[in-house]
Structure 1
Amino acid sequence: MTVDELLPATRRALDHRLAVGQSEGRTPSMAAGLVREGALVWSAGRGAVDGAEPTADTQYRIGSITKTFVAVLVLRLRDEGLVDLAAPLQTYLPGTRAGDRTVRQLLSHTAGLAAETPPPWWERTPGTERPELVDVLSDDPAGLAPGQRFHYSNPGFALLGALVAAVRGRPFGEVLAAEVLGPLGMSRTTLLPEPPYARGWAVHPWADALLPEPAHDAGWMAPAGQLWSTVHDLSRFAALLIDGDDRVLSRESVTQMGEPVAPPAADGSGYGLGLQLRVGGRPLVGHGGSMPGFLAGLDCALEERLGVVVFANATSGPAVGSIAADLLGIVADAEPRPPAAWSPLPEVDPDLLALTGPWYWGAAPYALRLRAERHLELVRLSVRGRESRFRPEPDGSWTGLDDYYAGERLTVVRDAVGQVSHLDLGSFVLTRQPYGPADVVPGGVDPGGWGGAGG
């Protein structure tokens, strides 16, 4: 069985969950797709668009998933050295009423800006209602202090889209097409709908009746939620968020997007740089989207290398986020990803091999393991302790990659004759014996050494 095949029972379970979601959610149509190991392995439609079941090529409006595309473009500028995430917005885009907020704060919704534009409701009115960029914010747009808490801001991402256009010297849509959509082959992802596409509807709460929703060009607010896409196209974007793609954004930068910036909410959700994070249950990264007449969800389970896309053409009703999580869970539980096959290192540096084995932080036992590409891994051998992987640096040290030790330096310290004395991990000393030798342990070691309770 190849990676692009699902078991018949799994496919039936996916089809059934989508059918239940469309029926119980009372939406005119739903479309969904499942990505595994970078490929679209299942897609299905339910309901009708123009009298036919939607397909993986039917466009739906994806709402705020647009914001993740904006974040990818900003990170590209950062990686090229054209934008500093710690710099204030006014460095690149003067005259916005939010110039003192940093690019990172805007990306992570920690800038303290208003959630919406001044009236009228931007999602249901044309962008001509806000003819200038300054119109996306009120005269006093900051209700919260910057950098202290998460507060979702649609105008904040409108400003980031304008930043991309200003730095590149081209309209936002052109930059997006040239730098993301084109390289990924996303020819059916557009700022305005192109047939075949689903029409947006509101469903009456107490009757099976429909009301058409407007779909205007949002103008300056387009980067906050205007894109239309298909299951086929957005599955390619999901693959980018799982593995990165050097044509668009490196895996390292994509990983950074999914690292939490804002403190988690009470339900365990958080936000990174243009990505929503769900840490309760199966950890997911992605983004939801809604515009009048549409709901959308994009979620990725990174450990399982699975991604899911769900679209509905209703303003409210279907629980798109829950449906997406359930679809992922069906595949992850029914067809768990096997671990990578173990293989020996192609070559072993004897100096690094000599560093492996037991080490002690005080009396706490650890072990150091040698991994591929000269990486090291510190694992605890007792109930308490902190673990991390370490990336080699050109100067002979290693940089921590995980949790407490992320960004911390691990250094091998040698004595006067060149023998390894101890390891220094962000000032913590690790030695080959518990609390020894005395001359390298901070504060020294009692000269009586180890002994019994009556010693």
Structure 2
Amino acid sequence: METTNFAATDGFPHTALVGVTGPEQTVAVQGDPRAALPLASVSKPISAWGVLIAVERGLVDLDEPAGPEGSTLLNLLDHTSGLPFEGDQTQAAPGTRRIYSNAGFDALGAHVGASVGMPLAEWLAREVILPLGMQDTDVTGRPSAGYRASIADLLSFAREVLRPALIPVALRDLALSVSRSGLRGVVPGYGSFDDNQWGLGFELKGSKSPHWLSDSLPPATAGHFGGQGSFLFIDRSSDLGAAFLSGVAFSDEHKRIWPSLTEEIVARYGAR
């Protein structure tokens, strides 16, 4: 593992923890890889992975009713349930708009917890955190935005996404594929897009610009960023994953460095 400094983070006025991994091992880190910081919405892919494990076990089904009337588990996972960012007053019929929703992921957590017979936090600890050796991770907060983790643990999770062992590859592929193309929606902090592409718990870059990922990254790049200045992305074309933690509120400083940082990561460490 290489200890490095990324040029893109020069002048960033906050902590900038960065890690990069291939499918087998961590290849580079900047800063303390074991410092646990808030993930904010980077919690969502971890929650989604626990849901997908429950799907694989036959404990829940993507097409079963969940959330507001007419919504399914799939609608909650791909932000098309109609629930708002926060609250329980629906804003659209299920499947008609991409409304990014913390409320939807919290409803997802409650539904799946009831189906598996334990709180989602307990299910995640047993079925995701322990098997992946994510020793610095705390999943006792909101499924939408309440977890904490370290760079080392996020890279362990990224390796699972690159080479899944907890779910079948086909289910991983479904999670990282566009669910309902052509739906308009907002990426918080970046604006509204006519085709706001998402998979199941993962945002897909698509053709969105401006964006937190570099314009040079492929449309299929999957990941998430969080309101506490965090990100996780998976670039299967380069066979790598990367994570960033800062522990401070997302700001223009993050918007300034993230596109160049994500481009630098892929240029330096992506598969050739």
Q: Which has the higher strand share?
A: 1
Q: Deviations over 1:75-133 (max 9, x none)?
A: 112212222211212xxxxxx6x14311111110111112212xxxxxxxxxxxxxxxx
TM-score (norm 2): 0.85
Paired with 2:235 and 2:91, the residues of 1 have a C-alpha distance of 34
Paired with 2:98 and 2:266, the residues of 1 have a C-alpha distance of 31
Say if 2:94 is the partner of 1:156.
no
Runs of at least 5 residues in structure 2 that lack an aligned partner in the other structure: 185-192, 208-215
What's the CA shift for 1:313? 2.2
Q: Deviations over 1:198-234 (max 9, x none)?
A: xxxxxxxxxxxxxxxxxxxx6xxx1111000000111
Question: Identity of paired residues, percent?
Answer: 27
Amino acid of the residue matched to residue 32 of structure 1? V
Query: 2:110 is paired with a residue of what secondary structure?
Result: helix
Shift in alpha-carbon separation, 1:316–1:288, aligned structure 2, 3 A: closer
Shift in alpha-carbon separation, 1:318–1:183, aligned structure 2, 3 A: farther
Matching residue within 66, 78, 92 for 2:43: 66
Report 1 or 2 for greater relative contact order, CA contacts < 8 Å, sequence distance ≥ 6.
2
Partner residue in 2 for 1:316 = 250
What's the CA shift for 1:326? 3.1
Shift in alpha-carbon separation, 1:336–1:173, aligned structure 2, 3 A: closer
Count of residues in Structure 1 that have an aligned counterpart in Structure 2: 253
Shift in alpha-carbon separation, 1:320–1:302, aligned structure 2, 3 A: farther
What's the CA shift for 1:191? 3.4
Paired with 2:173 and 2:259, the residues of 1 have a C-alpha distance of 20
Matching residue within 242, 248, 267 for 2:162: 242
Partner residue in 1 for 2:10 = 19
Matching residue within 119, 124, 149 for 1:229: 149
Q: Deviations over 1:311-355 (max 9, x none)?
A: 1122232554664543342243345523xxxxxxxxxxxxxxxxx
Shift in alpha-carbon separation, 1:149–1:56, aligned structure 2, 3 A: same
Shift in alpha-carbon separation, 1:336–1:186, aligned structure 2, 3 A: closer
TM-score (norm 1): 0.52
Matching residue within 181, 191, 208 for 2:139: 191
Partner residue in 1 for 2:202 = 275
Structure 2 contact 8–264 (Cα < 8 Å) conserved:
no
Say if 2:233 is the partner of 1:299.
yes
Matching residue within 114, 134, 137 for 2:84: 114
Partner residue in 2 for 1:30 = 16
CA RMSD of aligned residues (A): 2.2
Partner residue in 2 for 1:144 = 92
Shift in alpha-carbon separation, 1:309–1:322, aligned structure 2, 3 A: farther
Give the greater-gyration-radius structure (CA): 1
Paired with 1:66 and 1:75, the residues of 2 have a C-alpha distance of 15
Runs of at least 5 residues in structure 1 that lack an aligned partner in the other structure: 46-54, 90-95, 118-136, 193-217, 339-455
Say if 2:22 is the partner of 1:42.
no
Paired with 2:198 and 2:75, the residues of 1 have a C-alpha distance of 11
Structure 1 contact 301–328 (Cα < 8 Å) conserved:
no
